[in-house]
Structure 1
Amino acid sequence: MASPGHQCERHPTDVHDSARSGGSGGPRVPGGPACPVHSPTSAEDKKRNGLRKGLTLRRDYVKISVPESKASRLPSEWWKTVLAFAYAAFNLVLTTVMITVVHERVPAKDSSPPLPDKFFDYIDRVNWAFTVTEVNGMLLVGIWSIQWLFHRYRAIVGRRFFFLIGTLYLYRCITMYITTLPVPGMHMTCAPKLYGDSQAKLQRVLQLISGAGLSINGSHIMCGDFLYSGHTVMLTLTYLFIKEYSPRSFWWYHLLCWLLAAVGSVCILVAHEHYSVDVVVAYFITTRLFYWYHTMTNVQVRALRCSANGYLTHTWWNPIFNFLERNVQTQVPCSFCWPVTWPPACLKNPCKKYTMVQSAREE
């Protein structure tokens, strides 16, 4: 018979036997009473099990937010793209009208010789250089048109391009109207002035439009549209859009387009078709407007659009920007597909870092 002070010790074999029997009861010492052990019904275990259940219940009520589909966050809204295209077309036509007006004010070469230009002092004129500029420009426009056509979100990208090109040419109308520079070289042959012949002026406007304002087509025979360079605008803007909306891994593609744009811009000066300040101002205005606009499309600064301290919103075109970008709730990814809906299926090529403006935030 066990003494009152006897303490039961659990033998390893008894533990296994207890586990095999379903864990009911405690182990027995030969010749002694059942050893009292902690069972699931003890007060301490009840408290512990209750705590576990409480935590489990709390975990069951955790709300998991399901993100919206990318299609609903990037609506096409083609009607806005059509409006942006109309805005760009209007300003391009206005530019041709302004060139015709400014042409009548260009001073004669005899009375107002070309202004001194440091680049012209060191680099002699090359006759065929401006042809290289226009060929490079047509290549970049063609490359960008194909890339834009295959972009999955071409409606959003298209209205951004149309708005920026329209705004840049609107600025160009203002600068070349308020300051008319003399011809940059004595080699330039300008068409005769028409003075009050409105019908002949209209024919010149139509001639400029039909030839896309290119000298290689023989449509640009007027002078006065020097400040700032429209060729530099097209070269720079198409390159920026090509790089912005293509995968970062296509470095060879970006390098090729950069060379086309850079060589084309330099050849403008080599041909003595524009003053150096015309090219510099065109590059500066184009890049600043492009970076400004795409910074404002960043999700991070979206809250600044309605903020009093959002200096990015202090532009005259901010209401137009809000109209065009109001429903674009995320960044436009590098995703491409066939421009028509027939097979093969769309091919996706997402880019984690596709924009210079957003790369720092993503890293």
Structure 2
Amino acid sequence: MASPDHQETKDPTDTARTDRPLTIATSCPVHSHNSEDKKQNGLRKGLVRHRDYVKISVPEGKGNRLPSEWWKTFIALFYAILNLVLTTVTITVVHERVPPKESSPPLPDKFFDYIDRVQWAFIVTEVNGMVLVSIWSIQLLFHRYKAIVGRRYFFLLGTLYMYRCITMYITTLPVPGMHMVCAPKLYGDSQAMLQRVLQLISGGGLSITGSHLLCGDFLYSGHTVMLTLTYLFIKEYSPRSFWCYHLLCWLMAAVSVVCILVAHEHYSVDVVVAYFITTRLFYWYHTMANLQTLKCSPNNYLTHTWWNPVFNFFERNVQTQVPCSFCWPITCPLACLKNPCKNYSMVQSGREE
């Protein structure tokens, strides 16, 4: 009896085991086919959506990586004007402390020992300086990202003249030559000092306009600052292929700086210090601006500068390097001219396009 019972219990089980694979065999291919189709369709949709997303979002991202933010540019312009006015006030104050050239003769200068003074040399400096600034103004006007470039120029210019106010005030040097004619001292007449400040501002602080007859603004040279900074911006924000243009601007700046010394209007140390401070500040700022990874790097010691918070304020939303791209400054049917730089000439060899 054991064997029949075993057979009776075994037969339904065997039948069920043989039937179940049949149903699975007939249903699994259909089920797996449907699921694979759905997965493939979903994958295709995902790919299509991803492809559409890339096509739409990338151009917008590039456009937002260089926002104009003109209000920041006007703040930088105000900062530059404020320090230029402060410079004229400092010159007026320091003029009262300059010792008379009869009692305090000019300090020894090695350049003056070998080169005699040329009277018209300083006129060449100021004329070349005005031409160079005019060239830079036109170039900036046609630059596509003039708001970003402009606030960089204004911030560096204002900072350099603020440094100049400090160096002029803390150390007053005697006149560099007996040929210099200094205006009479006012001995505390505040109203007359205010008139001198306004006279300096109206004449642009230039000797050829007859507005600058004050002494004491020697360390360091403001003319060298303006010439050097303007040339660096001209070269940095123009195509590398314009080498003739760069050479011409460099010659104008170099000749003008040499003419400052030939005219004996500044000591040699005034020109050297002005060149060093201007170039270092320009390189530091653009290194931090062009290398995005340095902005938050703990090993970036440039962030220890006092102006780093101001830098972060101006450059926070600038997420890429500024290309050398030009267009018409007003709305025009002509297409904008675009010529991206190949690399960053001064600090970084591999520049993003």
| Displacement of 1:196 | 1.1
Query: In the alignment, is the contact (CA less than 8 A) between 1:140 and 1:235 conserved in 2?
Result: yes
Cα deviation digits, residues 236-282 of structure 1 (max 9, x gap): 00000000000000000000000000000000000000000000000
TM-score by length of 2: 0.83
Tell whether 2:329 aligns with 1:339: yes
How many residues of Structure 1 are paired with residues of Structure 2 in the alignment? 310
Query: In the alignment, is the contact (CA less than 8 A) between 2:343 and 2:351 conserved in 1?
Result: no
Cα deviation digits, residues 134-171 of structure 1 (max 9, x gap): 01100100000000000000000000000000000000
Q: Distance in 1 between matches of 2:281 and 2:273?
A: 12
Unaligned runs of 5+ in 2: 1-38
| Displacement of 1:347 | 1.8
Query: In the alignment, is the contact (CA less than 8 A) between 1:245 and 1:354 conserved in 2?
Result: no
Give the secondary-structure state (helix, strand or coil) at the position aligned to 2:309: helix
| Displacement of 1:357 | 1.9
Q: Distance in 1 between matches of 2:180 and 2:281?
A: 31
Superposed, 1:44-123 pairs within 5 Å as 67-69=58-60, 70-123=62-115
Tell whether 2:319 aligns with 1:311: no
Query: In the alignment, is the contact (CA less than 8 A) between 1:333 and 1:351 conserved in 2?
Result: yes
Report the residue type matching 1:122 in the other structure: Y
Superposed, 1:277-288 pairs within 5 Å as 277-288=269-280
Tell whether 2:154 aligns with 1:162: yes
Report the residue type matching 2:114 in the other structure: Y
Tell whether 2:108 aligns with 1:140: no
TM-score by length of 1: 0.81
Query: In the alignment, is the contact (CA less than 8 A) between 2:218 and 2:266 conserved in 1?
Result: yes
Q: Distance in 1 between matches of 2:41 and 2:264?
A: 78
Q: Distance in 1 between matches of 2:260 and 2:182?
A: 18
Match of residue 358, structure 1, among 337, 348, 352: 348
| Displacement of 1:314 | 0.7
Match of residue 232, structure 1, among 221, 224, 227: 224
2:123 maps to 131
Query: In the alignment, is the contact (CA less than 8 A) between 1:211 and 1:218 conserved in 2?
Result: yes
| Displacement of 1:111 | 1.1
Q: Distance in 2 between matches of 1:356 and 1:250?
A: 15
Query: In the alignment, is the contact (CA less than 8 A) between 2:66 and 2:319 conserved in 1?
Result: yes
Q: Distance in 2 between matches of 1:335 and 1:87?
A: 26
| Displacement of 1:355 | 3.5
Q: Distance in 2 between matches of 1:59 and 1:343?
A: 41
Q: Distance in 1 between matches of 2:344 and 2:283?
A: 14
Q: Distance in 2 between matches of 1:256 and 1:242?
A: 11
Give the secondary-structure state (helix, strand or coil) at the position aligned to 1:215: coil
2:191 maps to 199
Report the residue type matching 1:67 in the other structure: V
Unaligned runs of 5+ in 1: 1-53
Superposed, 1:317-336 pairs within 5 Å as 317-336=307-326
Q: Distance in 2 between matches of 1:109 and 1:164?
A: 34
Provide the aligned C-alpha RMSD in A: 2.2
Q: Distance in 1 between matches of 2:133 and 2:127?
A: 10
2:145 maps to 153
| Displacement of 1:312 | 1.2
Give the secondary-structure state (helix, strand or coil) at the position aligned to 1:253: helix
Tell whether 2:266 aligns with 1:274: yes
| Displacement of 1:210 | 0.4
Kindly, what percent of the aligned residue pairs are identical? Answer: 81
2:24 maps to none
Q: Residues 361 and 344 of structure 1: is their aligned pair in 2 closer, same or farther, counting only changes over 3 Å? A: closer
Q: Distance in 1 between matches of 2:352 and 2:199?
A: 48
Cα deviation digits, residues 296-336 of structure 1 (max 9, x gap): 001x3x23323332201110000000000000011111110
Q: Distance in 2 between matches of 1:291 and 1:319?
A: 17
Q: Distance in 2 between matches of 1:354 and 1:344?
A: 28
Higher percent of residues as helix: 2
Q: Distance in 1 between matches of 2:147 and 2:331?
A: 15
| Displacement of 1:349 | 1.9
Q: Distance in 2 between matches of 1:177 and 1:137?
A: 25
